[in-house]
Amino acid sequence: MIKNAPITYKDWIEAGFVLIPCDNKQSAVSRWSKPDFKITVQDWENNHIGKQMSIRLENHIDLDVDNNKVKFFINKHIKHKSAVWGRKNSPGSHYLWEGKVEAKKFILPDVFKEKVEKEKHGATICEIRSGMGHYTVVPESKYHVGDETIEWEEYNGITTYPKEYDITMDIGKIALQTALCILYPATTGNRDKYCTAIAGVLLKHGSWTTEQVDLFVHDLAIHSKDDEAFKRNKKGTSHSKSDRQFGISTLAEILRCDKKDVATLFSWIGIGYATVEGSSAIGDIIEYAQNKYEVRISGTRNGESVQSLVKMDGPTLRDMRKFYDEVIKQAQIWIPRMKAADFETIVKNKFEERIKSKDYIEGNAIAEEFRTYLDKYISKKQASTDPKQLLDFNMPVFDLKKSHLDFNLVHFEDYLREQKYNFGDRNDLKKSIQDYAGGKKINGKIKDEGGNWRSCVHWRVFNYKIDQKDLIIEGQVVKQEEVKAIDFEADKIEN
The CA distance from 273 to 318, in Å, is 18
Alpha-carbon torsion 192, 198, 201, 202, what sign?
negative
Closest CA to 78 of 60, 92, 58, 67: 92
Q: How confident is the model at residue 94 (pLDDT cuts 50, 70, 90)?
A: very high
Contacts of 75 (CB under 8 A, 6+ apart): none
The CA distance from 400 to 402, in Å, is 6
pLDDT at residue 418 greater than cutoff 70: yes
pLDDT tens digits, 25-59? 899 998 999 999 999 999 999 999 999 999 999 99
Tell me, what's the pLDDT at 340?
A: 85
Q: How confident is the model at residue 240 (pLDDT cuts 50, 70, 90)?
A: low
Closest CA to 195 of 160, 159, 224: 224
Angle between helix 426-437 and helix 409-418 axes, rounded to 10 deg: 100
Among 135-149, 202-216, 277-291, 324-338, name the one with the lowest average pLDDT. 277-291
> Where does 111-188 show beta strands of DSSP type E?
124-137, 151-155
pLDDT at residue 14 greater than cutoff 50: yes
Mean of per-residue pLDDT scores for the chain: 87
The CA distance from 391 to 395, in Å, is 8
- The proportion of the chain whose per-residue pLDDT surpasses 90, expressed as a percent, equals 62
Three-class SS state of 41: helix
pLDDT at residue 484 greater than cutoff 70: no
**Range among 8-22, 271-285, 417-431 rated most confident:** 8-22
pLDDT at residue 482 greater than cutoff 60: no
pLDDT tens digits, 368-387? 889 999 999 999 999 999 99
Question: Mean per-residue pLDDT for 214-243?
Answer: 83
Q: How confident is the model at residue 273 (pLDDT cuts 50, 70, 90)?
A: low
Q: How confident is the model at residue 438 (pLDDT cuts 50, 70, 90)?
A: very high
∠ Cα 104 25 168 (to 5°)? 15
Q: What is the DSSP secondary structure assignment for residue 179, as one 8-state letter?
A: H
The CA distance from 201 to 247, in Å, is 5
